[in-house]
Structure 1
Amino acid sequence: MCLNLKKGAIFVADSHFSEVNVEFLSFLEKLKKKEIETSQLFLMGDMFDFISGESRYFVKINQKLIDIINELSHNIEIIYLEGNHDYNLQKLFPKLKVYKRESQPIFAKYENKTIALAHGDIYTPKGYDIYCKIIRNSALLIFLNFIDFNYWLSKKIYNKLIKKSICSKMKDFDSFAKKRLSYYNSDIVVEGHFHQGKHYEEKNKLYVNIPSLCCNKKYTIFDGKFITTQL
């Protein structure tokens, strides 16, 4: 499937929403109040510090955001690229276009350009691919729910996640971006995941890393170019 990228589209990545990273809620509330406006929204993955469709505790504590996103989806085309912290989401967001890791990259067109979009945790070593399949396994997640009495396991995971440091800068972004471009067959590559919020261009090809909303308090607007914008 190839989407048409619209002028004014907004890209948001890696907000890792939790009680200590609340920027995503602020962003969604501004969309709801039309302080921020768009007809097309790309959620580039890791929007929640953790959530899956099977995880009762994490669905419960994130229900306010789930409800706002579903409300917005009646008027905005929302594309959700699942990340490594948020997956098996289609049941939570029935009107969204939700793409699992194995369906990424997805492709969009703008004028004569082809744009590849992914959360970013693809083209990785085989061991990581196996790990991703295991942690996304629905039967395993349902079983973990079954033994999660009084949410002891979920709370343990949550407390570990909110203490984790996730914001750092790469020493050689250009070399990294050049390598990422080599994995894709497109004019433009757009990824989240890496929390850098930088661009790299080489031989008429462009690599765009969407900034982490929780690290940089920024998102990206597409207006023919990818423009970094302060929340």
Structure 2
Amino acid sequence: MHLNIKDGAIFVADSHYNEKNQDFLIFLEKLKSKKIKTEQLFLMGDMFDFISSESTYFVKRNQKLIDIINELAKDIKIIYLEGNHDYNMKPLFIDVLVVKREDQPIFMKYQNKKLALSHGDNFTPNLYNIYCKIIRNHKLLKFLNSIDYNNFISKKIYYTLMKKNICHNFTAFEELAKKRVENFEADIIIEGHFHQGKEYDFGNKRYVNVPSLCCSSEYMLVEQNIFKKVNL
């Protein structure tokens, strides 16, 4: 997949939307009202604190945002890279290009440069890869949904996640970023997942970590080869 990224494209990551973290809804409503404008929107994963298409409880909790995204997708090119909190979502989004973890990175072009985009939880040890396959298994998730009486499983997940503090300063992040770029055959690597919002140059490669909308109320805009953070 090699699509062209245009100037003015917006990248949003890790909003972890729930009743406590409302920035993603605010962002989408600003897009809907044209207070924020773009032709291309990249949702870099973990936009919801948790969601899968199999979970009746989480789909219902997030239906308002699902509807807005589907409405926006009629006029804006939206690419949604699934994260480790949001997966199996293609049935929820009709006109959105949903990219599963196993299909990441996706490759794009921008000003004659090759870009690689991923959520950021790939290129990981085999044990984590096995875990990811298990928790994304469609039949398992359908079964868990069927025994989720009074939403006791879903509510446990929801309120446990909401209590977590996910915003930390990763002191060794530059070292991690340097190791990660070795996995990509691209000029620019763009990821979310790490909640750091930092950018590094390693030789002829540039690494861009999209800030967490939840942690800093920022998203990223690309213009004239500059990836700049924008306050919500």
What's 1:82 paired with?
Answer: 82
What's 1:222 paired with?
Answer: 222
What's 1:67 paired with?
Answer: 67
Deviations 1:107-162 (A, max 9, x none): 00012200000000000000000000000000000000110011111001101000
How far did 1:183 drift? 1.1
CA distance in 1, matches of 2:168, 2:61: 27
CA distance in 1, matches of 2:174, 2:156: 37
What's 1:109 paired with?
Answer: 109
How far did 1:170 drift? 1.1
| TM-score normalised to structure 2 length | 0.98
What's 2:122 paired with?
Answer: 122
1:134 is aligned to 2:134: yes
CA distance in 2, matches of 1:166, 1:229: 21
What's 1:195 paired with?
Answer: 195
Task: Provide the alpha-carbon RMSD of the alignment.
Answer: 0.6
The one-letter code sitting in structure 1 at the alignment partner of 2:9 is A
CA distance in 2, matches of 1:83, 1:111: 27
The one-letter code sitting in structure 2 at the alignment partner of 1:201 is D
Q: What secondary structure sits across from 1:91 in the alignment?
A: helix
Q: What secondary structure sits across from 2:90 in the alignment?
A: coil
CA distance in 2, matches of 1:143, 1:104: 27
Deviations 1:81-100 (A, max 9, x none): 00000000110001000000
| TM-score normalised to structure 1 length | 0.99
How far did 1:186 drift? 0.5
Structure 1 gap ranges (5+): none
Runs of 4+ aligned structure 1 residues displaced above 2 Å come to none
Deviations 1:29-59 (A, max 9, x none): 0000000000000000000000001000000
How far did 1:176 drift? 1.5
Taking only the aligned residue pairs, the percentage that are identical comes to 63
Q: What secondary structure sits across from 1:158 in the alignment?
A: helix
Q: What secondary structure sits across from 1:143 in the alignment?
A: helix
How far did 1:172 drift? 2.3
1:175 is aligned to 2:178: no
CA distance in 2, matches of 1:129, 1:29: 35
CA distance in 2, matches of 1:68, 1:94: 12
Q: What secondary structure sits across from 1:175 in the alignment?
A: helix
Q: How many residues align?
A: 231
How far did 1:101 drift? 0.2
How far did 1:173 drift? 2.3
How far did 1:215 drift? 0.4
How far did 1:3 drift? 1.1
CA distance in 2, matches of 1:202, 1:131: 31
